[in-house]
Amino acid sequence: MSETPRLFDQGLVRVRLRRAIGQRAEDFLLARAGADLSDRLGALLRHFEIVLDLGTPGYHAKMALQASGKVGQVIHAAPIMEMANSKLSIVTDPGLVPFGAESLDAVISLLALQTVDDLPGVLLQIRRALRPDGLFMACLVGGASLLELRQSMAAAESEIEGGISPRVAPFADIGDLGGLLQRAGFALPVSDVDRFTVRYASPLGLMHDLRRMGATNMLAQRRKTPLRRATLLRAIEIYGERFSDPDGRVRATFELVWISGWVPHESQQKPLKPGSAVKRLADALGVRENS
C-alpha cells in the first residue's frame, strides 16, 4: 500500500496558526462561514446530542452550533492548544478523528480540512465515527480562491527567476468533493459554492490579511529560500495591472465550498427504482410526446 503524499508541512501549519493568534488573527472568512452555518442549521429539523467541531480555528462554529438550539454537547478538536475553545476540547490534527465507531451525532468543520494531506481518509474516519443518520457538514477554501494572487506570483517568478515554485495550496474542487463523499459511504451528498470578491487598497493589504489568517505558504515542497524582493515587487505591479478597478483598488476572489452528507439510515428518503413511475414525463410537462 503506497503512502499518502505529504502535501503540507503540518508543523508549519501549527506555527502559522500560533503566529496568527499573536497578530490578532483576521477572521472575516470564518465569520462568513459561521453565519452561513447558522442558516444551514436553521433549515434542519433535527437535534444532535454529541457534535464534534473538527479543527475550526476560533469560536465561529461553536457559536453557531450553540445558538441553533439543536445540539447538546460540542466537542472541539483544536489544531493547537491556543485555539481550544471549551473544556470539552482535545488537541489533534484535523486529519485525525480519534473517536470510537458510531459515537457522534454530527461532525462540523469550518476552514480546516483544506490543509489535510489525506481528505478521503479523513472522510472515512468521520463516516466511521458517526452514528446512523449522523450529519457531516464542512466548509473548505475552494479552487477559485486567490486566483489573482496566484496568477500574479506565477507571472512574476517566471519573468524574474525563470521558473515557478509552489506557493499556493491545491484548493478543493467542488466537482471532486461530492464524489469523495459518496466514496466514503455518505448518503444524500450535497455541495455548493459561495464565491465573492474582497477589494483592497493594494496587493500588500491582501498579503497582510493572509498572514494574519495563518494562511501563508505551508506546502511541504515549498521553496525554502525567502521570496526575492524583486519578485515580490514585480508581482505587486502585475497584480495592479491586471486586477485593479477604476478607483485603483484591487480585487481578490475567495471561494468557500460547502459539503454535507448523512450516514445511511432506513428512515432516509430513497430514490425510486427505474421504471416505477406511474405517470409519463410528457403528461407531467403537458407536452406531446413524439414517436
Contacts of 50 (CB under 8 A, 6+ apart): 72, 73, 75, 103, 104, 105, 106
Evaluate whether residue 246 is within a structural domain. Answer: no
Nearest-angstrom CA–CA distance, 188 and 260: 8
Number of compact structural domains in the chain:
1
User: Within 10 A of 152 (CB to CB), how many other CB atoms are there?
Assistant: 23
pLDDT tens column, 92-104: 888 889 999 999 9
Evaluate whether residue 220 is within a structural domain. Answer: no
Highest-scoring range by mean pLDDT, 14-18, 181-185, 246-250:
246-250
Evaluate whether residue 213 is within a structural domain. Answer: no
The three-state secondary structure class of 13 is helix
What is the CATH classification number for the domain harbouring 187?
A: 3.40.50.150
Evaluate whether residue 238 is within a structural domain. Answer: no
pLDDT tens column, 135-182: 999 999 888 899 999 899 889 988 888 776 655 555 667 777 888 899
pTM score, whole prediction: 0.81
Evaluate whether residue 275 is within a structural domain. Answer: yes
Evaluate whether residue 139 is within a structural domain. Answer: yes
Evaluate whether residue 136 is within a structural domain. Answer: yes
Task: Write out the residue range of the structural domain in which residue 275 sits.
Answer: 10-143+170-199+252-285
Evaluate whether residue 107 is within a structural domain. Answer: yes
Q: Would you say 191 and 176 are in contact if contact means Cβ atoms under 8 Å apart?
A: no
pLDDT tens column, 199-214: 999 999 998 888 887 6
Nearest-angstrom CA–CA distance, 282 and 291: 12
